[in-house]
Structure 1
Amino acid sequence: MKKFGLFAAGGIAALILLANVGSMLALAVTLVLLYFVFREFMKAKSTSAKVLWGIAGIIIASATLANIPALLGLVAAYVLYLVVKSWRSDGHGKQESGDPFTSFEKEWRNLKQTK
């Protein structure tokens, strides 16, 4: 049942991630452009250059705010990462290891039998 829940959560997260890939790319591009405009605004010496870079910054900031739903895609990518990590640890994490503290009950039975 746990595998089914992980499969369902992973499938939903994958669909949300695929639906938001374009918006995530647009958000990344606008953030890079906004960083570039901010750098140029700070380097500008004249008032007219600062005004032009400020206007460009406002336009690009509005485009960035329009892509805020891409954050849902980022959350879906993180959930998908957690699902894959949990899925892999279920299959491979139950192997016997040499650490006596990984299976306390088994070690306690062995200790009680030796007395």
Structure 2
Amino acid sequence: MLKKIGLLLAGGLSVLVLMFHLGPLVGLAISLAILYYAVKKFFKADSTFGKIVWALIGLAALMVSVSNVPALIAIVAAYVLYVVYKKWNEPKEVVQVVDDPFVHFEKQWAELQKHY
């Protein structure tokens, strides 16, 4: 029960942090997409002017990406939320006490039959 309360608190805190840093996270995603597109266009450009323009666009997108450092906090919060979800749905351990000496008899008998 105490574990569930801890997971609930960690999950709630992660949701709040993720919501507060949603803006920088979207900005990071958009700037990385622009950077990716600019790099692709830079390598495909034939003229020097085209390469310079795409390099400047890529540099601007890189600076915007670096300025969205709070988005890293949102990524960490999303990961914590994922871990909380996985732990929440983890099956409980069932301890089974077996007093019957013949529980594994069939398996051991089959193994012995293989050797002889």
| TM-score exceeds 0.5 | yes
C-alpha distance in 1 between matches for 2:67 and 2:42: 22
C-alpha distance in 2 between matches for 1:47 and 1:55: 12
Name the % identity: 38
C-alpha distance in 2 between matches for 1:4 and 1:84: 13
Q: How many residues are treated as equivalent by the alignment?
A: 101
Provide the residue aligned with 1:98 in structure 2: none
Provide the residue aligned with 1:5 in structure 2: 6
C-alpha distance in 1 between matches for 2:92 and 2:72: 35
Provide the residue aligned with 2:67 in structure 1: 66
When the two chains are superposed, the root-mean-square deviation of aligned CA atoms in Å is 1.9
Whether 2:13 is the aligned partner of 1:19: answer no
Provide the residue aligned with 1:44 in structure 2: 45
Deviation at residue 15 of structure 1 after TM alignment: 0.7
Task: Supply the AA of the counterpart residue of 1:94.
Answer: K
Provide the residue aligned with 1:106 in structure 2: 97
Provide the residue aligned with 1:56 in structure 2: 57
Provide the residue aligned with 1:76 in structure 2: 77
> What residue ranges of structure 2 are gaps of 5+ in the alignment?
103-116
Whether 2:92 is the aligned partner of 1:94: answer yes
Task: Supply the AA of the counterpart residue of 1:4.
Answer: I
> What residue ranges of structure 1 are gaps of 5+ in the alignment?
96-101
C-alpha distance in 2 between matches for 1:34 and 1:48: 18
TM-score with structure 2 setting the length: 0.78
SS at match of 2:43: helix
Deviation at residue 64 of structure 1 after TM alignment: 0.7
TM-score with structure 1 setting the length: 0.78
Q: Which has the larger radius of gyration?
A: 2
